[in-house]
Amino acid sequence: MNRNELKDFLDHKADLYESPSFIETDPIQLVHRFHRKEDREIIGFLIATIAWGNRKMIIASGERLLSIMGESPYDFIMEYSPKKDYNFSHRTFNSEDLSGFFCGLNKIYHQGGMEDAFGGKQPLNMADRILSFRSKLLFPPHLKRTEKHIADPSKNSACKRINMFLRWMVRSDQKGVDFGIWKTIAPKELYLPLDVHTSRNARDLGLLNRKQDDWKALEELMAVLRELDPEDPVKYDFALFGIGAFEKF
């Protein structure tokens, strides 16, 4: 395919898969149960944090998180004190890690909120926004092991789960999938949540040459996607994910 044909193909697939039917099998369905901005932020971040592995398993673990936090994750976080072992685990993310995240979120919400922790209206690049949030989340005392569950772009991580969370918060809710509740970050600033599936499809389509799935690969891919759509390049996450998950591309 030439560049125009590739754009037409990806635009079509992005439009096809960014629809409410996408929610039925995706962990984002758990975030859609809430309506308050802070509730969506908190449960969205935690669901994104555990979003590796089988999607059914992620959703099951997310249900356990909801049972811990109750009807308002925001109220739970604002009143949180590390007194209880919640007997939670998802892959290598366990109760101690969860407690560390609860403590970090408590601190963040008592100091301005999650959107502000990502840099708010400051003119930061995305890597620096993620680093700003990471430093604030990990500010309270925590186990060293917990740090591996919040990606670090300065160490060349592709930050898949954080970028997925940011897509949820920032992109428009017009199609009924993402939420569009953050206004201090523009959709054009977002980075695609790169993983083994989207990167493989991107390479097969000639969008990506770098072999490693890291931040450098993400920068390479985003440069191409911004040529295809300068204002909303991350819409192509739906295309690259969808053709693999639903079409076995």
Q: What is residue 34's predicted lDDT score, i.e. its pLDDT?
A: 97
Question: pLDDT tens-digit profile of 146-155?
Answer: 999 999 999 9
Q: Is the pLDDT at 81 greater than 90, yes or no?
A: no
pLDDT, greater one: 86 or 123: 123
Query: In the predicted model, what is the mean pLDDT of the chain?
Result: 94
pLDDT class of 248 with cuts at 50, 70, 90 = low
Q: Say if residue 83's pLDDT is above 80.
A: no
Reported as a pLDDT band with limits 50, 70 and 90, residue 4 is confident
Torsions phi, psi for 93 (to 5 deg): -90, 115
The pLDDT of 34-39, averaged and rounded, is 97
pLDDT (mean) for 203-219: 97
Structural contact between residues 80 and 102, judged by C-beta atoms closer than 8 angstroms: yes
| DSSP calls for 53-98 | S-HHHHHHHHHHHHHHHTT-HHHHHHT--S------EETTEEHHHH
- Confidence (pLDDT) at 42: 98
What whole-number distance in Å separates Cα of residue 167 and Cα of residue 172? 9
pLDDT tens-digit series, residues 223-240: 999 999 999 999 999 999
Q: Kindly give, in sequence order, each residue whose CB lies less than 8 Å from that of residue 156, ignoring residues fewer than 6 positions away.
A: 214, 215, 216
- Going from N- to C-terminal start, the domains of the chain cover 3-244
At 31, is the secondary structure helix, strand, or coil? helix
pLDDT in tens, 154-182: 999 999 999 999 999 999 999 999 999 99
Digit-coded pLDDT (tens) for 37-56: 999 999 999 999 999 888 89
